[in-house]
Structure 1
Amino acid sequence: MTVFHRNEKKEPLPDSLKGGVVAIGNFDGVHRGHQSVLNRALEIAESRGLPALVLSFEPHPRTVFRPDQPVFRLSPAPMKARLLEALGFKAVIEYPFDLDFSGRSADEFIQSVLKDWLHVSHVVTGFDFHFGKGREGGPAFLMAAGEANGFGVSLVDAFRDENAAVISSSRIRQLLADGDVAEVAGLLGYRYTVEGEVIKGAQLGRTLGYPTANMALPPESALKPGIYAVRLRRPDGMLHDGVASFGFRPTVTENGEALLETFVFDFTGDLYGEVCSVSFFGFLREEMKFSGLEPLVEQMKTDEAEARALLAGVKPLGELDAKIAF
Structure 2
Amino acid sequence: MSSARHAFSVIRSLDAFPAHLRGGVVAIGNFDGVHRGHQAVLEEAKALARAGNVPAIMMTFDPHPRTVFRPDNPVFRLTDEAGKARLAEALGLDGILSLQFTRSFADQSADSFIETILIKTLGVRHVVTGYDFHFGHKRQGTPDYLKEKASEHGFGVLIVDMKSDRSGDAVSSSRIRAALKDGDIAGANRLLGYSYFVEGPIIHGEKRGRNLGFPTANMALAENSELRCGVYAVTMTRADGTEFHGAASFGRRPTFDNGAPLLETHVFDFSESLYDEVVRIAFHGWLRGEEKFASVDDLVAQMKDDCEKARVLLSQRDIQPLDRVLAG
TM class by smaller structure: over 0.9
Query: Are 1:273 and 2:276 counterparts?
Result: yes
Once residues 222 and 124 of structure 1 are traced to their aligned partners in structure 2, the CA distance between those partners, rounded to angstroms, is 31
Once residues 326 and 198 of structure 2 are traced to their aligned partners in structure 1, the CA distance between those partners, rounded to angstroms, is 11
Instruction: Using the TM superposition, give the Cα deviation of residue 15 of structure 1 relative to its aligned residue in structure 2, in angstroms.
Output: 2.4
Report how many aligned residue pairs link the two structures.
Answer: 321
Residue matched to 1:321: 323
Q: Secondary structure at the match of 2:96?
A: strand
Residue 109 of structure 2 aligns with an amino acid whose one-letter code is S
Query: Are 1:290 and 2:293 counterparts?
Result: yes
| Contact kept? 1:191, 1:325, Cα under 8 Å | no
Query: Are 1:260 and 2:256 counterparts?
Result: no
1:60-119 deviation per Cα after TM superposition (whole angstroms, max 9, x unaligned): 111111111111110011111101110011110011110111111000000000000000
Instruction: Using the TM superposition, give the Cα deviation of residue 49 of structure 1 relative to its aligned residue in structure 2, in angstroms.
Output: 0.8
Instruction: Using the TM superposition, give the Cα deviation of residue 314 of structure 1 relative to its aligned residue in structure 2, in angstroms.
Output: 2.2
**Identity %, equivalent residues:** 51
Query: Are 1:69 and 2:76 counterparts?
Result: no
Instruction: Using the TM superposition, give the Cα deviation of residue 219 of structure 1 relative to its aligned residue in structure 2, in angstroms.
Output: 1.1
Instruction: Using the TM superposition, give the Cα deviation of residue 236 of structure 1 relative to its aligned residue in structure 2, in angstroms.
Output: 1.7
Query: Are 1:112 and 2:119 counterparts?
Result: no
- Cα 1:325/1:226, change in 2 over 3 Å: farther
Residue matched to 2:4: none
Once residues 132 and 265 of structure 2 are traced to their aligned partners in structure 1, the CA distance between those partners, rounded to angstroms, is 40
Query: Are 1:87 and 2:91 counterparts?
Result: yes
Q: Which runs of 5+ in 1 are unaligned?
A: none
1:13-66 deviation per Cα after TM superposition (whole angstroms, max 9, x unaligned): 322211000000000000001111111101111111110011111111111111
Residue matched to 1:5: 12
What TM-score do you get using the length of structure 2 for normalisation? 0.96
RMSD (Å) for aligned C-alpha atoms:
1.0
Residue matched to 1:233: 237
Q: Secondary structure at the match of 1:46?
A: helix
Instruction: Using the TM superposition, give the Cα deviation of residue 324 of structure 1 relative to its aligned residue in structure 2, in angstroms.
Output: 2.7
Residue matched to 1:188: 192
Residue 69 of structure 1 aligns with an amino acid whose one-letter code is N
Residue matched to 1:143: 147
Structure 1: which 4+ aligned runs deviate by more than 3 Å?
Answer: none
Instruction: Using the TM superposition, give the Cα deviation of residue 325 of structure 1 relative to its aligned residue in structure 2, in angstroms.
Output: 5.1
Query: Are 1:44 and 2:48 counterparts?
Result: yes
Once residues 323 and 224 of structure 1 are traced to their aligned partners in structure 2, the CA distance between those partners, rounded to angstroms, is 27
Once residues 244 and 184 of structure 2 are traced to their aligned partners in structure 1, the CA distance between those partners, rounded to angstroms, is 22
What TM-score do you get using the length of structure 1 for normalisation? 0.97
